[in-house]
């Protein structure tokens, strides 16, 4: 008889070494989980009443039209039974092969074993049958409010995505193969990645998407030359160093979103919009917003406008000696730029020569993909979270955005990191995406309640700073750039907002790609094209159908529009002046503040 001591294999020592590592990592895992401070349960899912309403509606459908419900159920039973019988028949005949019809394609099932191996193919096909049945059941519910049905469809999809066989080790051929090939080392590395992520986020599971050690703000990203020429509680104002001998007289000031950091516009020299604008002969200023902490609890849109927008534009005009500026707003900063323009209209102030909006929502009558998160149960949960912490923490927003594309932004990275033991990639865009910022409590609720839920700005009844602000008051020459596949600021919603603005001179550009790549789209790449159509009275669909498509970046199109509103050429300006001394080099200090989890 052979004893355990006599057993020998080339991989035994490595296996024992890996098992020892697992024991150590398990203790760290338990420690990380013990430090977890759960967030408000309302932010983890919909109010249970949604499912109760769905059950009631489904029962009402059953009573009204039992034939339809039976047909749906019998169809599902029939597909499942047929699938099971075919698999058993193949086994009985000794055929360890999949059926001739291996089912529909799905990018999650890219490994050939999903089609060539009978075990994995059976699992894949049954999962797709189950997912289809759930989707069909939701679609057939009639006695349910359209908004609630839309939410139910979203959460049902989240459940089916979460239950995909690729998300479980025993039913993921890629993970199983990797574990065998590495003699279990991939599992050890995966567990280490899991523990590291938990420890980095106080026990909260936030999947790390990028190798954070590969980047340094001001080192290999955000390196455009400039100086911080002003700092207050809300922002640092950066003036960029000229690269041309002369510049347009009227300066440009960019207001980036304060949900993330401004350096999305300056990741690297090849795709830096900041460098591009400077190289075209403009004096460029960029606002770098502070990363809010609990002391900003009572900071609202008023402070962003007064101490951010109005202060920045005043400083830019003083430094450059001009009466006007060309202002640019990106995403939520574009929304707030529109609020600022309405306020200036009320005051009879014409300091803004033109306005540019990047992926900006101003009309929230259709909440798009955010419908599941903009109903009272979620907003009430956010309000309770803010009452405790004073801010909306960055990771809550990041998680919300990620669940809009859960397969790509949650499950696939988790599989690669935790099951396969892979190191996250060194990708600058993903690094920026993870370098989020917290939102002040008051500002968050003003935005969610007044703008998103009640759509008060578009309807001309948003009360702020002693004025009633109205989207129709935005009457300066303007141009709006939206992105065709943007899931955060859907282009048709951006288009609708522009249509409601009061300007007699306005243009709309539709770029290919999404919220980031549609904007960060340098001409040198020749990657994404754009659509142009001067007729903004058309419906969004008709506008695109009748638009002219242009290959390549929209940047030159915008620059040609901007140059006509930027005055004569003057000698290039160096950053700051005697009244506005240089405080430090770009990218400044505020951009380096990381959000607390």
Helix or strand or coil: residue 352?
strand
Region of 525 please: left (phi>0), alpha (psi -120 to 50) or beta.
alpha
The token pair that represents 232 in the structure block: 């207050």
Please give the Cα distance from 309 to 311 (Å, whole number).
Answer: 6
Cα Rg for the chain, rounded, in angstroms? 28
* Residue 221 near residue 275, CB atoms below 8 Å: no
Please give the Cα distance from 474 to 89 (Å, whole number).
Answer: 70
DSSP-derived letter for residue 467 is E
* 331 is a catalytic site residue: yes
Is 94 buried (19+), middle (13-18) or exposed (0-12) by CB count in 10 A? exposed
Please give the Cα distance from 238 to 279 (Å, whole number).
Answer: 16
Closest CA to 357 of 476, 438, 263, 439: 476
DSSP-derived letter for residue 59 is H
Residue 504 CA to chain centroid, in angstroms? 32
Pairing of strands 467-469, 530-532: unpaired
Please give the Cα distance from 211 to 239 (Å, whole number).
Answer: 30
E-strand spans in 39-173?
A: none
What's the angle, vertex CA 363, arms to CA 438 and CA 483, rounded to 5? 75
What's the angle, vertex CA 534, arms to CA 530 and CA 536, rounded to 5? 100
Is 531 buried (19+), middle (13-18) or exposed (0-12) by CB count in 10 A? buried
* Residue 122 near residue 79, CB atoms below 8 Å: no
Closest CA to 523 of 499, 495, 556: 556
Please give the Cα distance from 315 to 309 (Å, whole number).
Answer: 10
CA quadruple 143, 145, 148, 150: dihedral sign: positive
- Which position among 320, 331, 452, 494 bears the catalytic label? 331
Closest CA to 125 of 162, 89, 90, 83: 83
Look-up of token digits 């020459």: 477
Closest CA to 332 of 364, 366, 376: 364
Residue 546 CA to chain centroid, in angstroms? 30
DSSP-derived letter for residue 410 is I
Please give the Cα distance from 132 to 378 (Å, whole number).
Answer: 27
The token pair that represents 7 in the structure block: 């057993």
DSSP-derived letter for residue 332 is H
Burial 410-431 (b: 16+ CB within 10 A, else e): bbbbbbbbbbbbbebeeebbbb
Catalytically active residues are 331
């Amino acid at each position: 008889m052979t004893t355990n001591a006599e057993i020998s294999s080339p991989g035994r020592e490595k296996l024992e070494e890996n098992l020892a590592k697992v024991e150590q990592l398990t203790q760290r895992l338990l420690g990380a989980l013990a430090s977890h401070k759960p967030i408000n349960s309302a932010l983890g899912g919909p109010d249970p009443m949604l499912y109760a309403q769905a059950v009631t509606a489904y029962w009402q459908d059953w009573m009204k039209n039992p034939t339809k419900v039976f047909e749906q159920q019998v169809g599902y039973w029939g597909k499942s039974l047929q699938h099971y019988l075919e698999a058993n028949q193949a086994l009985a005949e000794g055929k360890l092969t999949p059926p001739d019809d291996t089912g529909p394609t799905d990018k999650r099932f890219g490994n050939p074993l999903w089609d060539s191996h009978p075990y994995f193919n059976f699992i894949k096909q049954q999962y797709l049958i189950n997912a289809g049945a759930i989707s069909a059941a939701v679609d057939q519910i009639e006695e349910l409010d359209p908004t609630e049905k839309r939410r139910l469809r979203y959460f049902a999809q989240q459940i089916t995505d979460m239950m995909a066989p690729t998300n479980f080790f025993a039913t993921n051929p890629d993970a199983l193969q990797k574990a065998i090939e590495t003699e279990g080392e991939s599992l050890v590395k995966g567990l280490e990645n899991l523990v590291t992520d938990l420890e980095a986020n106080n026990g909260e599971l936030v999947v790390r998407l990028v190798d954070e050690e590969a980047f340094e703000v001001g080192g290999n990203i955000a390196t455009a030359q400039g100086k911080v020429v002003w700092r207050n509680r809300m922002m640092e104002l950066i003036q960029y160093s000229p690269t041309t001998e002369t510049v347009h007289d009227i300066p440009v000031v960019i207001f980036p979103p304060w949900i993330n950091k401004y350096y999305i516009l300056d990741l690297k020299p090849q795709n830096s919009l900041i460098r591009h604008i400077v190289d075209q002969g403009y004096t460029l200023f960029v606002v770098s917003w502070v990363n809010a902490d609990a002391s900003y609890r009572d900071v609202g849109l008023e402070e962003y406008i007064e101490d951010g927008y109005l202060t920045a534009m005043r400083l830019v005009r003083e430094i450059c000696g001009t009466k006007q500026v060309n202002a640019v707003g990106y995403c939520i900063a574009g929304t707030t730029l529109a609020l600022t323009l309405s306020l200036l209209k009320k005051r009879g102030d014409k300091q803004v020569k033109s306005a540019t909006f990047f992926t900006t929502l101003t009309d929230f009558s259709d909440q798009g993909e955010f419908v599941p998160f903009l109903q009272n149960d979620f907003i009430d949960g956010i309000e309770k979270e803010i009452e405790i912490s004073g801010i909306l923490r960055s990771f809550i927003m990041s998680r919300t955005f990620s669940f809009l594309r859960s397969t790509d932004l949650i499950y696939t990275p988790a599989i690669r990191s935790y099951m396969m033991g892979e190191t996250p990639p060194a990708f600058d865009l993903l690094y920026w995406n993870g370098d989020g910022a917290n939102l002040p409590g008051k500002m968050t609720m003003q935005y969610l309640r007044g703008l998103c839920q009640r759509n008060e700005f578009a309807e001309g009844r948003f009360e702020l700073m002693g004025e009633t602000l109205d989207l129709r008051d935005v009457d300066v020459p303007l141009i709006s750039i939206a992105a065709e596949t943007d899931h955060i600021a859907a282009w048709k919603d951006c288009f609708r907002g522009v249509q409601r603005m009061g300007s007699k001179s306005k243009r709309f550009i539709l770029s290919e790609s999404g919220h980031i790549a549609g904007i960060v789209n340098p001409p040198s790449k020749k990657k994404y094209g754009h659509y142009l159509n001067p007729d903004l009275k058309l419906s969004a669909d008709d506008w695109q159908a009748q638009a002219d498509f242009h290959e390549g970046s929209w940047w030159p199109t915008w620059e040609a529009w901007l140059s006509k509103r930027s005055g004569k050429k003057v000698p290039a300006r160096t950053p700051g002046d005697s009244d506005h001394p240089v405080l430090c080099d770009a990218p400044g200090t505020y951009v380096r503040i990381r959000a607390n989890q």
